[in-house]
Amino acid sequence: MNIMSFIEEESCDPFLQDQIHLYPDQLVVDAIEVLLEYDGEFLPVYQHNKCVGRVYLSELLWFVTCHDPKYNLLFHKLNFDLESAVKVMKKSI
């Protein structure tokens, strides 16, 4: 699986500022809720009014369920912040 989600220190391609967006310290469970509510495939991640990344719904859902066939870690993974979740996803590939 190729992980397309990213959160970087530097700003990335700008999105419309008034577009719904996420934050690096936002919990995975909250980000999934926002993405599902707005029926989005992905949303930009903003920090200090700059676009610093993009997070995909399918990758977050994969993150909370991967390597856990009995879903023992599900609740733990839902409480990761987005920045940590993206780092773990990139390392696990």
> CATH code at 26?
3.10.580.10
Q: What pLDDT shows up at residue 74?
A: 82
pLDDT in tens, 39-68: 989 999 999 888 899 999 999 999 998 877
On the question of pLDDT at 14 being above 80, the answer is no
Q: How far apart are alpha carbons 47 and 81 in whole angstroms?
A: 13
**By residue range, what is the domain housing residue 81?**
6-91
Q: Is 73 part of a structural domain of the chain?
A: yes
Query: What residue has token string 């919990």?
Result: 27
Q: Is 41 part of a structural domain of the chain?
A: yes
Q: Is 74 part of a structural domain of the chain?
A: yes
Q: Is 31 part of a structural domain of the chain?
A: yes
Q: What pLDDT shows up at residue 66?
A: 83
The count of structural domains within the chain is 1
Buried-state track 15-40, b at ≥16 Cβ within 10 A, e below 16: eeeeeebbbbebebeebbebbeeeee
pLDDT in tens, 18-41: 689 999 999 999 999 999 999 989
Kindly report the pTM of this predicted structure. 0.87
Q: How far apart are alpha carbons 76 and 16 in whole angstroms?
A: 32
Q: Is 1 part of a structural domain of the chain?
A: no
